[in-house]
Amino acid sequence: MKINTAEALIQNWTGRTDPEADSWRWHQKIQPVQSDSPAGMALIGFACDAGVQRNHGRPGAIHGPQALRKQLANLPWLQTVPLYECGDIVCDDGDLETAQQQLASHIAAQLQAGHQPIVLGGGHEIAFASWSGLAKHLAATESQPRIGIINFDAHFDLRDPQCQAASSGTPFAQIAEVCAHKHWMFHYACFGVSRMSNTLALFNRADALGVCYAEDLQMTAPQLSLLQQRLDRFMQACDHLYLTIDLDVFPASQAPGVSAPAARGVSLEVIEPLLIQIRNSGKLRLMDLAELNPELDIDAHTARLAARLIHQMTLTQQ
């Protein structure tokens, strides 16, 4: 494992510079985070696909953070808070558990400093580290934090960690175990679940854990109002939200650059209004994007989609 510092990564933020006034782009606003930086958005990379490989998926997500930064760099700057580069946690030796601990500590530190972390993956093993960082931060002031996990994903990622090594397929089962140990609420919603991608055991585990889920067949434009109502009920029961987006929830035509492209998937026109609803809730503390695999991408379609999602989630409430 190694760490790419914020100062080193700043050099990679390049893009177009326009002569007109009010024509700023992300690459012109990004700055290395400092200990006394005012509250803002904190980008943290998790360059890792060890969990994907353990889960017998196709490697390449380790290169996701840099591909995502490249697409973010040229986007127009319409945001209102500072933007910080916080560096990468790089898992290049297979030691996933140490990398997850490092990421969790890094996230907790940025939350403590008043920032909202946006974590760039990396495989979906990112989720256990992200949640752990948020939990570590909240536990300092709350004995029973009510954290809602919202996952847009074709997979539950509830594989039993007692039966296999921790991987990109186990993070939410790992979180459920930690919650049970701490006597915390396990409040998990998964939108976009595919019957093609989850065994009966996973559906049974989801039901046993009280997971709120919507299958891909249910996530259509005519059903959007009902989905928004379900999401609202879920969020009302939580004080803090952790959002994680596995890019394989989208159709392969929109997101080809993932380990497991979706045969059907859920379209952006359905998912984006739900994301805006989460953004506007005032409860979002942390988000990450997982499974961007540039080695499998086509003309950066998936990286561009991921950049759009981040851009949308960081705009002022509209």
For the stretch 78-96, pLDDT in tens is 999 999 999 999 999 999 9
Residues 237-252 have a mean pLDDT of 98
Read off the pLDDT of residues 259-318 as tens digits, 9 standing for 90 and up. Answer: 999 999 999 999 999 999 999 999 999 999 999 999 999 999 999 999 999 999 999 754
- What is the rounded distance in angstroms from the CA atom of residue 281 to the CA atom of residue 14? 33
Nearest-10 crossing angle of helices 96-112, 126-139: 40
Cβ neighbours, 10 Å, residue 80: 9
Would you say the pTM of this structure is higher than 0.85? yes
pLDDT score of 183 more than 60: yes
**Virtual torsion, Cα 97, 98, 99, 102, nearest 10 deg:** 120
289 three-state secondary structure:
strand
